[in-house]
Amino acid sequence: MVTYIDAETAPLKNTGQIRLYGPKDFEAMHRAGQLTARCLDALAARIRPGTTTQEIDDFVFAFGEEHNAIPATLNYRGYTKSSCTSINHVVCHGIPNEKPLKDGDIVNIDVTFILDGWHGDSSRMYTVGRPKRAAERLIEVTYESLLRGIEAARPGNTTGDIGAAIQSYVEAERCSVVRDFCGHGVGRLFHDMPNILHYGRPGEGIELRPGMIFTIEPMVNLGRPHVKVLSDGWTAVTRDRSLTAQFEHSVGITETGCEIFTLSPAGLDNPAAHAPS
Ligand code: MF3
Ligand code: CO
Ligand code: CO
């Protein structure tokens, strides 16, 4: 049975209970989320053929330093970078390296800043040079699936309503939803309860209540949904090597719907939609 607990009095570890946060906490999450969003905004102009993902990672680290924020991924379970950079058939947790991006690549950049103890977790897709038509379409479908998930994130609905909204749309577009990774509670912890599956049936899962804070981060493949993790222990790729995309926002459930903490102040939530073509 699921239990909900006031975030004020809950211990700062994942106890399996669902933390309910208050208005002050929402303000702190907004600040952390906006810092992450501004960093992702600033990256848009820096991504072009020849850019290395290590340069992206260095930028993220420096941006954090300038704003008194620490990248949550740094030294997280042995991960040593400030961001995840997932290119083409890499589903998630791609490790930044010195290999330059090429014309036509698509890349997800996932950043989580910890600001005053609060985690702002968000990722977006960027296109490098001139994207292929199939890549543009995949990115569009993935972004729309996140918006549909967010639309379902309101009191009275369940986590299953979010998953169902995403899955039904993605599959109607003849794409597939990755099952091996999910959204998660976020806030004072990086990864907390509940799990937010990006597939499922309406009414399943747990009831959404005002004060809940979590991410929605669908990974969508052009081919089959199956993934494997490479021998580095992190990089997840599509088994059929088909193209894959992901977008992520951190949201908080309000009385009437949800607040998106990581919304882009520059209107660049889907940077690929603004890229020259
Ligand atoms: N930011 C990722 C997420 O959305 C988690 C990355 S963990 C890492 O939950 F260790 F791979 F960086
Ligand atoms: Co996340
Ligand atoms: Co993330």
Q: Where are the domains of the chain?
A: 19-274
- List the CATH code of the domain at 19-274: 3.90.230.10
Q: Which ligand is nearest to the CA of 79?
A: 1
Ligand 1 proximal residues by C-beta, below 6 Å: 73, 76-77, 79, 84, 93, 110, 112, 121, 215, 217, 234, 248
> What local confidence, expressed as pLDDT, does residue 276 receive?
63
Mutate to test the pocket of ligand 1, among 76, 119, 195 (most ligand atoms within 8 A of CB): 76
251-268 average pLDDT score: 98
Q: Does residue 214 contact residue 162 with C-beta atoms inside 8 Å?
A: no
pLDDT at 277 over 80: no
Q: Report whether pLDDT(248) > 90.
A: yes
Kindly give the number of the ligand 1 atom that is closest to the alpha carbon of 184.
9
pLDDT in tens, 19-78: 999 999 999 999 999 999 999 999 999 999 999 999 999 999 999 999 999 999 999 999
User: What is the predicted pLDDT for the residue at 2?
Assistant: 87
Averaged pLDDT for residues 81-96? 98
Tens of pLDDT, residues 8-17: 888 888 888 8
* % residues pLDDT > 70 (the chain): 99
Residue 252: pLDDT over 80:
yes
- How far apart are the CA of 187 and the centre of ligand 1, in A? 14
More confident position, 277 or 194: 194
Token duo for residue 39: 């960093």
As a whole number of angstroms, the distance between CA 200 and CA 249 comes to: 19
CA distance 228 to 242: 12
Q: Which ligand is nearest to the CA of 71?
A: 1
Please name the residue whose Cα sits nearest to atom 12 of ligand 1: 73
pTM of the complete model: 0.98
Give the number of the atom of ligand 1 that is nearest the alpha carbon of residue 191: 9
Q: How far apart are CA 119 and CA 184, in angstroms?
A: 12
Atom of ligand 1 nearest to the CA of 111: 1
Ligand 3 mean position to 248 CA, how many Å? 6
pLDDT category at 255 given cuts 50, 70, 90 is very high
Whether the pLDDT of residue 216 is over 90: the answer is yes
Residues 124-172 pLDDT 10s? 999 999 999 999 999 999 999 999 999 999 999 999 999 999 999 999 9
Residue the block writes with tokens 């020849």: 50
Please state the φ and ψ torsions of residue 106, each to the nearest 5 degrees.
-120, 140
Q: Which two tokens stand for residue 103?
A: 């014309």
Q: What is the mean pLDDT of the chain?
A: 97
Mean pLDDT of 79-104: 98
